[in-house]
Structure 1
């Protein structure tokens, strides 16, 4: 995909600050994955592709690697630049990465690969990776084995209308990919802990296709989510809740 999906452009432009507040962090297992499977550490250079507001940058920073970020949505890239002075943040897309050939040791796509994960993007990622470099994909996915999380999905999903998402599995069609070998798939439990306002309301309103809705429809989604919270004993009146996620991690190595 050579252009930005309109749901991403419109939704994330409108909800950049809500995205920061509403999105979960990543579990400690992600740091082991970055070290052991992706191979990051001091002396390495990593590109955070589709970096959004830079939510994953602190995890990359702790590896000691040099950090680069590419983000096409201006409002989100502005937050990266504001909050991460040590990161070179660039405007670009997954099919037009503004780097030279073999420029980085790893490319990480955190909550982003489903937006652009076609053969053209994978070829461009391969171009900027050094021989033996790693493409790492990571997502926080709602754990719908929790009843109220499943009920929340029932409110959200009718508005999807074909918007790219991890759960559709369409991103998997990019693999097997020429020039890449599969390394591994890992999963870890994760919880976003905080007030219902932050971890449920802000999270829902930060979803691209929800944020892109007309104001009246977005308000109706918020009303339904608030009603769900009020009707769920473990949520109603709670000062703090734990929103359950499954964190999925994948690694692919560029052939020499």
Structure 2
């Protein structure tokens, strides 16, 4: 994806902020426990916070959270859903916080949108020495048969290059965090995955896939046709045809520590 396409995709979420907040999954707490020192008073920046899915999980773990999000509509949805959280406009490339003001910076399904050549030094600036930078991605576990079939039917617009376990493992070396090793000022990257899942119905899973960036930028007729194909696939699978089911997922994590 070139720079212009990345900008188009990354700016597509605001128009679907309410649907994003309703349908996108939270994150495995075990993943954040692996990333963070959960001592009282730990200061965490949720960068590219969106509507606050990762922010809410951090709150549940009892850390001191500040959220930063560039899209006004996503930020408004975050503030509506989590009114007690300090939530600021800003971006990975321009973080509205003082030097060395947080112990960890985390990004949920957002780091692949960052321009790490600019964002890396900016993140290092706001991190205290020894602090952690971590990207988290919720991915579909395509080792499960029906989930692998869903990927084939959905196509890359709905289930993209970082959205399944197999693809995410293959792509981690190409992500901005690890493209040239760790960003300057950070140690070597570490990687782990943690089991996760989300209770869904066919309708809610179709709605979830409709919030993917590739789907949001499609012409409406193409988008409707693709979602109809996905709905037909789910209706034809015994695992998903009737009532609630669990979408098998993992939360994949890349973390580095500021030196």
Which TM-score bucket, shorter chain as reference?
0.7 to 0.9
Q: Hey, what does 2:31 align to over in structure 1?
A: 30
Greater RCO, 1 or 2 (C-alpha within 8 Å, sep 6+)? 1
Alignment partner of 1:186 out of 189, 192, 196: 192
Do the aligned residues in 1 keep the contact of 2:141 with 2:250 (CA within 8 Å)?
Answer: yes
Q: Hey, what does 1:135 align to over in structure 2?
A: 133
Q: Hey, what does 1:213 align to over in structure 2?
A: 218
1:245 aligns with 2:246: no
Q: State the shift of 1:164 in Å.
A: 7.6
Q: In structure 2, how many angstroms separate the alpha carbons of the residues matched to 1:63 and 1:101?
A: 25
Do the aligned residues in 2 keep the contact of 1:108 with 1:137 (CA within 8 Å)?
Answer: yes
Q: 1:104 and 1:2, CA in 2 relative to 1: closer, same or farther beyond 3 A?
A: farther
Classify the secondary structure of the residue corresponding to 2:195: strand
Alignment partner of 1:177 out of 155, 163, 183: 183
| C-alpha RMSD of matched pairs (Å) | 2.3
Q: In structure 2, how many angstroms separate the alpha carbons of the residues matched to 1:222 and 1:214?
A: 12
Q: In structure 1, how many angstroms separate the alpha carbons of the residues matched to 2:30 and 2:97?
A: 29
Q: State the shift of 1:130 in Å.
A: 0.8
- Normalising by structure 2, we get a TM-score of 0.87
Alignment partner of 1:65 out of 63, 79, 82: 63
Structure 1 residue ranges without an equivalent (≥5): none
Structure 2 residue ranges without an equivalent (≥5): none
Q: Hey, what does 1:80 align to over in structure 2?
A: 78
Q: 1:46 and 1:158, CA in 2 relative to 1: closer, same or farther beyond 3 A?
A: closer
Q: Hey, what does 1:223 align to over in structure 2?
A: 228
Alignment of 1:50-199 (within 5 A): 50-116=48-114, 118-159=116-157, 165=162, 167=168, 168-169=171-172, 170-171=174-175, 172-173=178-179, 175-182=181-188, 184-198=190-204
Tell me the matched-pair count. 247
- Normalising by structure 1, we get a TM-score of 0.88
Q: State the shift of 1:131 in Å.
A: 0.8
